[in-house]
Amino acid sequence: MTGSHLNRSISINRRSHSQSQQPLGSPKPVSSTRFGCVSLGLRFQVLVIIASVISFFIAIGGGYIYVLPSLTHAFFHTQGFFSDQSNTNSNSTESLFRKCDVFDGTWVQVSSGYPLYNATECPFVEQGFDCLGNGRSDLDFLTWRWKPKGCDIPSFDVGAVLEMLRSKRVVFVGDSMSRTQWESLICMLMTGVEDKMNVYEVNQNQISKRIRFLGVRFSDFNFTIEFFRSVYLVQQGQVPRHAPKRVKSTLLLDKLDDISHQWINSDILIFNTGHWWVPSKLFHMGCYFQVGSSLKLGMSIPSAYRIALETWTSWIEREIDKNRTRVFFRTFEPSHWSDQTLRTCNVTPYPTFETNATDQNSFSDTVMEVVKNVDFPINILHVTSMSAPRSDAHVGNWNDNPSSQDCSHWCLPGVPDMWNEIILSQIFPEYDIPFWANGTGQLDD
C-alpha cells in the first residue's frame, strides 16, 4: 500500500478597502475616531478567531499524523499486513502504510550466520540430501538468504524457538519434499539442544522414504516433530469391479488418506502435494481417478487435483480446531531438469535470476483458488517463484547414488531451511512478521 502524506495548508485572502484621506492638518471628526476604534477591535477579534482556527487545524493535523500510524499499524497488523520498519531513514508514515508479501523478494548473499547447521552431524538428514557429505566442494549455495521487498524475515533464534515449541506437536504431511523440510527443521532446532541424546525418533527408526510415519521427540522441551507420508493426500483404492484391464488402482478423490485421523490434535500442521500428480506416477502405472463408486477414466490430472484439494479443505473445516492449530499449505516448488527425460540436470554455481516458465505452476494456482473460498484460516507458503532461481541448490550428483542425478530434491542445509524460517516467523507473534496469506518435477520415492 502506498504511503500517503497528510499535508494541511490554510490560505487566508484579505481584501483591502480604500479609505478617503483627510486633508493634511485638518481635524478628524469624533465619529471617525470612534468607528476607527471599533474597526480595530473587530480586526483584532477576527485575527484572534483566525489564529484559533489555524491552531485548531494544526492541533488536529498533528494529532492525526501522530495517532494515525499507530491505529493503521494495529489495523493492518490484524489484517495480515506488515509495515517496513527496517529502513529507519524512510518516512515513518509512508512505511507504516506498506504491506509486506514475504514471498515477493529476492535472494541475497549474506556474509555470516549460514549455514544454520552441519548436515553430516545431524542424524536425521538422509544421506542423499547431505551434499557436502557426499563430496560437494563449492559452498556458495549455502550463503543465500531470502529477502522480501517490504520487510525482513527475522534471524533464526534457536533458543527462542525451542522455548516457544515447548509442549507442542508439529506435523508435516506430504511427499518427499515435505520430508526434506521436516528433516531441515529438526536439524535447525538440534543446534540449540545441549544433550543430543535427548532428541530421538520415537520408534527408533532410521530415516527412510519407505516409512509412512516418522516422529522425532525433543524430550528436554516436551515436543515432537512428525512426518506422515501421504503423496496425494487422498486415499489410494483397489480396482473397482468391472474396471478395464488397464486400471490397476484408483485415487479416491472424495476420501482423505486413511491415516488422516492421526494428523488431528496438532499445533502446527504443514501440508504439500503435487509432485506425484504426473502421468508417470498415475496413468502409466494404471492408476485412475474415482469419485464415490464412479470410475473417472477420462478425468484430467488438473481436474482431479482440484477435487482432491476440495476434499482436503472440507476435512480441515470439519476436523481441525482453528483455535489451536495453525494450518499451512506449501505450494509446488519447481525442479530444474535439463530436459523432459528427467535424467540430466545442470546444477549452477549461483542462483539464476532469469524469469522462466518454472516461476509459475498450475498446481500452485489451483491451491490458492481453492483455499480462498475456505472459511478456515489456511496459510499459503507460496514458494513456487521463490524457489525457481535456486538451480544451484539441488542435490545433483551429490547424493547417495552418484550415477543418478537429482534436480528435484534440495541439498541440506539449503532452500528448505528458508521455508522453515518463514513458517516460524508467522507462527510466533514475538517475531512480529504477520503472514501474507492469500513447476513440475518427478520424484523417485
Give residue-wise pLDDT tens across range 357-399. Answer: 444 588 999 999 999 989 999 999 999 999 999 999 999 999 9
Question: Are 188 and 259 in the same domain?
Answer: yes
Question: Are 63 and 137 in the same domain?
Answer: no
Q: Looking at residue 265, what is its pLDDT?
A: 96
Closest CA to 391 of 444, 332, 335, 339: 335
In a domain, 223, yes or no: yes
Cα–Cα distance for residue pair 295/434, rounded to 1 Å = 43
Domain boundary among 63, 79, 95: 79
Q: What is the CA radius of gyration of the chain?
A: 32
* Contact indicator for 425, 431 with CB cutoff of 8 Å: yes
Cis peptide bond prior to 115, omega within 30° of 0? yes
From residue 174, give the alpha-carbon distance in Å to each of 44, 230, 259, 275: 79, 5, 12, 10
Q: Looking at residue 354, what is its pLDDT?
A: 67
Cis peptide bond prior to 413, omega within 30° of 0? yes
Give residue-wise pLDDT tens across range 240-278. Answer: 989 999 999 999 999 999 999 999 999 999 999 999 999
CA within 13 Å, CB half, 67: 6
Amino acid at 111: S
Q: Looking at residue 314, what is its pLDDT?
A: 97
In a domain, 368, yes or no: yes
Question: Alpha carbon 140 to chain centroid distance?
Answer: 24
In a domain, 91, yes or no: no
Domain boundary among 12, 45, 79: 79
Give residue-wise pLDDT tens across range 312-359. Answer: 999 999 999 999 999 999 999 888 887 766 678 888 999 987 655 444
Question: Are 168 and 225 in the same domain?
Answer: yes
- 10-34 mean pLDDT: 38
Question: Are 71 and 196 in the same domain?
Answer: no
In a domain, 442, yes or no: no
Structure confidence at residue 403 as a pLDDT band (50, 70, 90): confident
Question: Are 340 and 232 in the same domain?
Answer: yes
Please calculate the CA angle 92-95-101 and round it to the nearest 5 degrees: 155
Using DSSP's 3-state secondary structure scheme, residue 43 falls into helix
Say yes or no to pLDDT of 280 above 60: yes
- 87-113 mean pLDDT: 64
In a domain, 25, yes or no: no
Q: Looking at residue 9, what is its pLDDT?
A: 37
Question: Are 109 and 71 in the same domain?
Answer: no
B/e letters for 65-100, b = 16+ CB within 10 Å, e = fewer, are eeeebeebbeebeeebbbbbeeeeeeeebbbbbbbb
Q: Looking at residue 356, what is its pLDDT?
A: 54
In a domain, 378, yes or no: yes
Residue 197 cell numbers, joined: 541424546
- 409-417 mean pLDDT: 97
- 392-411 mean pLDDT: 90
Task: Kindly give, in sequence order, each residue whose CB lies less than 8 Å from that of residue 149, ignoring residues fewer than 6 positions away.
Answer: 100, 101, 104, 105, 106
CATH code assigned at 402: 3.40.50.1110
Mean of all residue pLDDT scores within the chain: 79
In a domain, 19, yes or no: no
Q: Looking at residue 330, what is its pLDDT?
A: 96
Closest CA to 347 of 138, 84, 94: 138
Question: Are 268 and 358 in the same domain?
Answer: yes
Give residue-wise pLDDT tens across range 46-74. Answer: 555 666 656 655 555 544 444 433 333 33
Question: Are 259 and 393 in the same domain?
Answer: yes
Closest CA to 329 of 300, 369, 276: 369
Q: Looking at residue 338, what is its pLDDT?
A: 79
In a domain, 304, yes or no: yes
Full domain range(s) for residue 41: 30-79
Helices (DSSP H) in 324-439: which residue ranges? Answer: 362-371, 384-387, 415-427
Q: Looking at residue 277, what is its pLDDT?
A: 96
Environment class of 442 (CB within 10 Å of its CB; exposed 0-12, middle 13-18, buried 19+): middle
Q: Looking at residue 128, what is its pLDDT?
A: 94
Question: Are 306 and 407 in the same domain?
Answer: yes
Question: Are 354 and 410 in the same domain?
Answer: yes
Q: In this prediction, what percent of the chain has a pLDDT beyond 70?
A: 72
Please count the structural domains in the chain: 2
Q: Looking at residue 47, what is its pLDDT?
A: 57
Question: Are 287 and 359 in the same domain?
Answer: yes
Residue 214 cell numbers, joined: 516418522
Question: Are 66 and 179 in the same domain?
Answer: no
- 81-97 mean pLDDT: 32
